[in-house]
Amino acid sequence: MGLDYVDPNKKHTRAYDISVMFARTRLGRFYGMHIAPRIDPWLYKVTSGRYPAVMGMVLNAPLQTTGARSGQQREVHVVYFHDGPDPIVIASYGGEPRNPQWYYNLKAHPDCRLGGEEFVATEIDDPEEYARLFDLAQRVYAGFGDYRAKMAAVGGRRIPVFRLTAR
What value does the mean pLDDT take over residues 119-125?
Answer: 98
Task: Give the C-alpha separation, 125 to 114, whole Å.
Answer: 21
Share in percent of the chain as helix, strand, coil (round to 5): 40, 25, 35
Tens of pLDDT, residues 51-76: 655 555 577 889 999 999 999 999 99
Count Cβ neighbours within 10 Å for each residue of 36-61 and write b for 16 or more, e otherwise: beeebbebbeeeebebbeeeebbbbb
Tell me the pLDDT band of 50, cut-offs 50, 70 and 90.
low
Sign of CA dihedral 88, 48, 52, 75: negative
In tens, the pLDDT along 5-35 reads 889 999 988 888 888 888 888 898 888 878 8
For residues 67 and 106, is the Cβ–Cβ distance under 8 A? Answer: no
Could you tell me if 86 and 47 are in contact, meaning their C-beta atoms sit under 8 angstroms apart?
no
How many angstroms separate the CA atoms of 50 and 63, rounded?
A: 16
